[in-house]
Structure 1
């Protein structure tokens, strides 16, 4: 992918992000951090790279959402039992998604593996298109800005980000989930008090 981006620039960046978000095993964060490195070297423009990354994430998420909306529920009904997923389980997921979907769409970008499922799940759960667009596209912008900026700041040392994430990623994720859980707990405790 690095060679493709070095050779074909913004087009390769856009296509790799669309395909990666739809579900192909493409390391999106690594690609965007590398693009940030290229920006630091003056080989790519920051604003253009950010715009192309954002558009790639928007198109990828929109495709995943559409697939979930039109094929998600029929697939779950047809094949869900094979994987132990009952209709009652799916209804609980839909109810959960109605409450927390916005949070999942924004934060899900930063969780490899989860990002690929969030838009599909939003579509399958029939999340309204305007709500999906607001949260998914906001998350896509924040995600693109974060990794391109990190690559730009780290410059030659851009690969250190992934050494750090590999070493401390579990603890960072656990801390974020704990914070999110506490926020939700106090929010709903206050609501029912």
Structure 2
């Protein structure tokens, strides 16, 4: 099972395992990123890893993965993802949906998208495809990487041996959270447009 292999890599290779698996997971390979980080938090609670070092490595690893995705999108654009995306779980349907969503909510999506599986794997690609400057991409992606890593590593640290049960419960409500977030963003977008419509 892939998850067990991830646990093995982190338990035996520590920070190198965390960095490598996070980079691959963010790019789009089937790595359970939140599980990886809460497990790292559990190892911290057992005294096997340092909290500060683990957090630093996780932030750098996740942002490195986002940067790779950004530069792929910047250099090769939409056609490459459309043609080969299925190899890394990126279907044409996901691409079309995310492209529409990114046009409206790209900046906030880049920051908060870390918390939404599927979305975080695509937002960096679309930042590159959309021609964002790397400095702009950095200013929105970096805070998301820090907040995301801090949340799940800290959660795993405080949960201790209960980390897996709680993480699985969180995953059950991810879709609901995503739907609610999209509805809130649509409402904000509508309310901002409404005065302009009235003035016209």
Specify the alignment match of 2:88 in structure 1: none
Of the structure 1 ranges 155-164 and 68-77, higher mean CA displacement relative to structure 2 is found in 68-77
Specify the alignment match of 2:111 in structure 1: 106
Secondary structure of the corresponding residue to residue 173 of structure 2? helix
Matches of residues 1-193 of structure 1 in structure 2 within 5 Å?
1-75=6-80, 93=99, 97=102, 99-190=104-195
Query: How many residues are treated as equivalent by the alignment?
Result: 185
Q: Where in structure 1 are there 5+ consecutive unaligned residues? A: none
Of the structure 1 ranges 31-40 and 69-78, higher mean CA displacement relative to structure 2 is found in 69-78
Counterparts of 1:40 and 1:162 in 2: how far apart (Å)?
16
Q: Deviations over 1:128-185 (max 9, x none)?
A: 2111111111111111011101111211100122332244333222222222222222
Question: For the aligned residues, what is the CA RMSD?
Answer: 2.7
User: 1:24–1:84: structure 2 CA closer, same or farther, 3 Å change rule?
Assistant: closer
Counterparts of 1:77 and 1:145 in 2: how far apart (Å)?
33
Counterparts of 2:116 and 2:147 in 1: how far apart (Å)?
13
Following TM superposition, by how much is the alpha carbon of 1:99 offset from its aligned partner in structure 2, in angstroms?
Answer: 4.6
Q: Is the 8 A contact 2:38 2:167 kept in 1?
A: no
Q: Where in structure 2 are there 5+ consecutive unaligned residues? A: 1-5, 85-90
Counterparts of 2:8 and 2:83 in 1: how far apart (Å)?
41
Q: Deviations over 1:56-85 (max 9, x none)?
A: 011101100000000114537989xxx989
Following TM superposition, by how much is the alpha carbon of 1:105 offset from its aligned partner in structure 2, in angstroms?
Answer: 0.6
Counterparts of 2:81 and 2:31 in 1: how far apart (Å)?
26
Counterparts of 2:81 and 2:28 in 1: how far apart (Å)?
18
Compute the TM-score of the two structures, normalised by the length of structure 2: 0.81
Following TM superposition, by how much is the alpha carbon of 1:20 offset from its aligned partner in structure 2, in angstroms?
Answer: 0.8
Following TM superposition, by how much is the alpha carbon of 1:34 offset from its aligned partner in structure 2, in angstroms?
Answer: 0.3
Compute the TM-score of the two structures, normalised by the length of structure 1: 0.84
Q: Is the 8 A contact 1:108 1:114 kept in 2?
A: yes
